[in-house]
Amino acid sequence: MSITRGTNISAALLLAACCHLTPALADTLSCDDGIKTAFRPDADTSVVAVRLVKKGEELKAIDAPQPVTAAADLCLVKLLVGPGATAEKDKNARSYSEGIGIEVWLPTHANWNERIRNYGGGGWVGGGHRYADKIGSKVPAIVNANIGYASGTTDAGQPWYQDGSFAFLSDGKVNVESLRDFSVRAMVEQAVKTKALVNLYYGKAPKYAYYDGHSQGGRQGMKLVQEYPELYDGYMIAQPALSIAKFGTAGLYPQIVMKTELGFTSANKAEATAFAAKVAAANKRAVAACDKAGLGFLLDPFACDYNPARDADMLCAGVAGEGVTGSNADAAVCMSLKEANALNRIWYGATSDGSFDVAQSADARSGKSLGKNQLWWTFTKSTAIGTLITSASAYGVALALQDVSYAPDASTSSGAPITNASTNVRNKWLELDYAGLADAVNKGVALQPTLFSDLITDKADLGKLRELGRKVVVYTGLVDDAIPPAGNINYHERVVAAMGGHAEVQKFMRMYLLPGSAHSSQGRAYTVGGKNDTVPLPKLPGNANQTPTREQDQFFTALVDWVEEGTAPGEILLTSRDNSVSYPVCVYPLRTTWSGNGDAKQASSFSCR
């Protein structure tokens, strides 16, 4: 049964589970066009294409710089689930959609491990899921199928890869239908249709079903955790884009600070580029000041209280700072006092009046509590935020204010500009001040239940998940440069408060904080110097890991053992890619902690405290 608008979604899910998760069936299907006739779960679902992929075939995933090689024969089935964006009549508009595209990768009957491992999308999602001659899935989904899982992905209801244009109808109004698909319905259909197809193709139901997603895909999975936990046995949630209505809209704050305090924005390319270089230099100074273990990155960036206004080596020669006089003669990287305090404002996070508190506690910086006038948390000190300086993140503002004119164009942002026929006006965000941005944040939050189908994904009551016995493993990087980690910590703290404390929450959900880990579904160390092979990172499926063993799929393996064996995950040992540094990452609220005197490259010098 399709999950259609105006239908009781919970009742539909119950019926879907009843009808599709059946005992072992007698017949199986071949990987051919017979699936188009055999698979008709409802009137809204059609099979677009069936493709037999032979072992050794190179597959070009949408996010891959290099092909993924099929490790064994696979069957790719492409689905389209209607009705799509019925309010959009212009078929040439990017808001036009006939429904939700889904790809399901099916190992051969002999190679299937009797499990589903569906994978989430990223960013604005989209992709070639609905087209017979394209591949919409990202690398990890294909790798999951390589190792025996049936793996489904979705374009979240719109075909334009990493293009937010779909969010506005061609008349300029918010595309409520597509945003509902994007927020929740696509993931429900992904789960229900993948299970139904698996049952039919293999002639039996899977033993276990898992969800695995990163970034927007992490948010997608957490949406199911919060509202439809019955769809999967276990959820692997990585660096999720939770509270997107807050951090996404507040992401414009660096531009407001620059405009107000320094007199330029990303529209002023030379000035913005020069300031970004100074911010990068200040990040290096922050690491130098706070890296007690000498690792080249920060184990706990929340504890770093570095202040460039009090650093003589950061301030330009002769500049009177806070208790110091500047000594840096390099004009390319030194800061004036105004620049130093502009960075302090950016590091503090968006406020309603541009105020900041350099004395904010480590607990507050880590998501425990918002500071005075603070709207949301921002990125940690040492995180590379150059793109927020040179590029305006105003898409969230345009949605919150329901006005595409506030979106950036190519002259102020590096992302794909929003295409919309209602107006050619862009960059109205340049008119905003501190209070105007705060108003946008608040309006965006207030509109979540109506226009945006609670895309914010921050429901703290996980009682249904707990009652069903489902399990969740979450991790987030402490130098995530796309989603402020403190916001995800804050969500976890809210769950802890709602569900009876850390010990109770750890019975069904466990979170890990990863030092030195930036934003990437395949693991990326992002310290001040960029790529860094000395940062311990989790082993994850991806381009460089196309047929991972259990030990090379660390966090997901921990989830599987919890679901199937009842072994709750504890410390997980991470090792850098050059094998020079190892340490454990810990079940929150414990943190990876250096002993203070042991060799900081040896795991024995660290503990969870």
Per-residue pLDDT tens digits for 39-80? 999 999 999 999 999 999 999 998 888 899 999 999 999 999
The mean per-residue pLDDT over the stretch 302-321 comes to 98
Q: Residue 9's pLDDT is what?
A: 52
The mean per-residue pLDDT over the stretch 536-556 comes to 95
Helix axes 186-202, 216-227, angle to 10 degrees: 80
Give yes or no for residue 3 having a pLDDT over 80: no
Band the pLDDT of 20: cuts 50, 70, 90. very low
In the structure, how many helices (H) and strands (E) does the chain have? 18, 16
Q: pLDDT (tens digit, 9 = 90+) per residue, 253-298?
A: 999 999 999 999 999 999 999 999 999 999 999 999 999 999 999 9
Q: Residue 529's pLDDT is what?
A: 59
Q: Cα–Cα distance between 140 and 289 in angstroms, integer? A: 38
Q: 457-471 burial, b if ≥16 CB within 10 A, otherwise e?
A: bbbeebeebbeeebb
Percent over 90 (pLDDT), the chain: 92
| Contacts of 27-32 spanning 24+ positions with Cβ under 8 A | 27/203, 28/109, 28/201, 28/202, 28/203, 29/200, 29/201, 29/203, 31/75, 31/106
Structure token digits, residue 81? 């689930």
Q: How far is CA 475 from CA 124, 493, 538, in A?
A: 21, 14, 10
Percent over 70 (pLDDT), the chain: 95
Q: Residue 526's pLDDT is what?
A: 72
User: Pairing mode, if any, of strands 74-81 and 100-107?
Assistant: antiparallel
Q: pLDDT (tens digit, 9 = 90+) per residue, 141-184?
A: 999 999 999 999 999 999 999 999 999 999 999 999 999 999 99
